[in-house]
């Protein structure tokens, strides 16, 4: 069966949206709008898998929604909402908890990283996190999922869950009227552009992350022009001039990262960036990167701040998006309940 093409993705409201989130994910969310119907979600239930101060969480949810809109997502033509307003996500996640195997969960590298050494003290929610992520995507039977490189393993798990559900319930799926026994699609990751894995500005071997204690490791979407300039000036580099060809970036993680960031912001490629700046000193290149970053990110950050303070507007968008999302999700859950063997209308 051909599934209707539909894009779904989510971002956690855990503070400090950064350049990695923007270039790795949000920029692609914006691009996909012209080709597909899109659903973009502020995944607040994922956020509470680690402790969130309630007042901060509320602020961050609105901030991520504001960032989506400031970046160019149209909440009228598409859907922007927060996960907790659509209870079908949690409902399907429970079903998936009973489909996914412990062995699959045990392989998830993100859980290992986030739980760290004190694994016994991690929440059960953090462990089951990928099952909720699969539910986010599959409750809309979405076919395309724009994400950064770090979410690839979770997408593979989503496909495993979809496949096992389809296999386990093949007969019931056919009885429910899905002739070829396929209820859930094999959602495809969309990982594109020169910045699918933006690295820390302080250490080119570490991912740029919200949880890095050093604010100099990342550029936040809310940073003003001076802060952006300071952070790029202080960004770690190596003593060699920039290479003229892309293969010269091998073994030079910081140079590779800055060139990738430039290419992503300029909408070009690393090869094009090097054809212009290759052979030159980092200081010249950094100056150009500062101008470009301020030019591209400044207006997004300013609009995000403006929208975040308009609580009525943002809450209205989220309520409207949630109602539209729920209409779709409840339809899927109606079938799932029938397929699994629950009794109800």
For ligand TYM, the binding residues (CB under 6 A) are 8-12, 20-21, 24-25, 43, 46, 133, 136-137, 145, 147-148, 150-151, 154, 196-198, 207-208
**Residue closer to ligand TYM (CB basis): 170 or 324:** 324
Is 117 noted as a catalytic residue in this protein? no
Nearest Cα to Cα of residue 278 among 246, 318, 233: 246
Q: Which two tokens stand for residue 52?
A: 């969130």
CB of 8 to ligand TYM, least distance (A): 6
**Residue closer to ligand TYM (CB basis): 157 or 229:** 157
CB of 234 to ligand TYM, least distance (A): 18
**Residue closer to ligand TYM (CB basis): 122 or 176:** 122
Is 210 noted as a catalytic residue in this protein? yes
**Residue closer to ligand TYM (CB basis): 147 or 300:** 147
Contacts of 176 by beta carbon, 8 Å cutoff, 6+ apart: 183, 335, 338, 339
Annotated binding site for L-tryptophan: 136
Q: How far apart are CA 166 and CA 200, in angstroms?
A: 40
Nearest Cα to Cα of residue 326 among 37, 88, 94: 88
CB 158 within 8 A of CB 187: yes
Annotated binding site: 12-14, 20-21, 136, 148-150, 198, 207-211
Helix (H), strand (E) at residue 80: strand 79-82
**Residue closer to ligand TYM (CB basis): 72 or 280:** 72
Catalytic residue among 59, 114, 170, 236, which? 114
Annotated binding site for ATP: 12-14, 20-21, 148-150, 198, 207-211
Q: Which two tokens stand for residue 136?
A: 């986010």
267: left (phi over 0), alpha (psi -120 to 50) or beta: left
Is 59 noted as a catalytic residue in this protein? no
Catalytic residue among 31, 164, 210, 236, which? 210
CB 253 within 8 A of CB 197: no
Phi, psi (deg, nearest 5) at residue 49? -65, -20
Nearest Cα to Cα of residue 308 among 43, 63, 61, 11: 63
CB of 123 to ligand TYM, least distance (A): 15
CB of 284 to ligand TYM, least distance (A): 25
CB of 209 to ligand TYM, least distance (A): 6
Phi, psi (deg, nearest 5) at residue 274? -70, -30
Question: Which residues have a catalytic role annotated?
Answer: 114, 207, 210
């Amino acid at each position: 069966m051909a599934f209707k093409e539909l894009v779904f993705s989510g971002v956690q409201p855990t503070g400090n949206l950064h350049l990695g989130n923007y270039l790795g994910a949000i920029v692609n969310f914006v691009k996909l709008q012209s080709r597909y119907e899109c659903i973009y979600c502020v995944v607040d239930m994922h956020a509470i898998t680690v402790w969130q101060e309630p007042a901060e969480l509320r602020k961050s949810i609105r901030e991520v929604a504001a960032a989506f809109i400031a970046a160019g997502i149209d909440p009228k033509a598409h859907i922007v909402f927060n996960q907790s307003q659509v209870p079908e996500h949690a409902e399907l996640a429970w079903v998936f908890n009973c489909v996914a195997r412990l062995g699959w969960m045990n392989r998830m590298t993100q859980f290992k990283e986030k739980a760290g050494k004190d694994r016994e003290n991690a929440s059960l929610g953090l462990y089951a996190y990928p099952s909720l992520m699969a539910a986010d995507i599959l409750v809309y039977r979405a076919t395309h999922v724009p994400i950064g490189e770090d979410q690839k393993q979770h997408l593979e798990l989503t496909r495993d869950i979809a496949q096992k559900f389809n296999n386990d319930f093949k007969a019931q799926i056919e009885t429910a009227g899905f002739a070829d026994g396929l209820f859930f699609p094999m959602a495809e990751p969309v990982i594109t552009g020169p910045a699918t894995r933006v690295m820390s500005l302080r250490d080119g071997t570490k991912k740029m992350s919200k949880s890095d204690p050093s604010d100099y490791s990342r550029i936040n979407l809310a940073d003003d022009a001076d802060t952006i300039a300071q952070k790029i000036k202080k960004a770690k580099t190596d003593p060699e001039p920039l290479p003229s060809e892309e293969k010269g970036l091998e073994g030079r993680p910081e140079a590779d990262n800055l060139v990738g960031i430039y290419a992503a912001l300029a909408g070009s490629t690393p090869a094009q960036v090097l054809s212009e700046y290759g052979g030159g000193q980092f200081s010249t290149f950094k100056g150009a990167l500062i101008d470009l970053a301020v030019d591209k990110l400044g207006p997004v950050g300013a609009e995000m701040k403006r929208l975040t303070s308009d609580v009525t507007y943002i809450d209205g968008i989220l309520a409207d998006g949630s109602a539209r999302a729920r209409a779709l999700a409840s339809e899927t859950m109606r079938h799932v309940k029938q397929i699994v063997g629950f009794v109800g209308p």
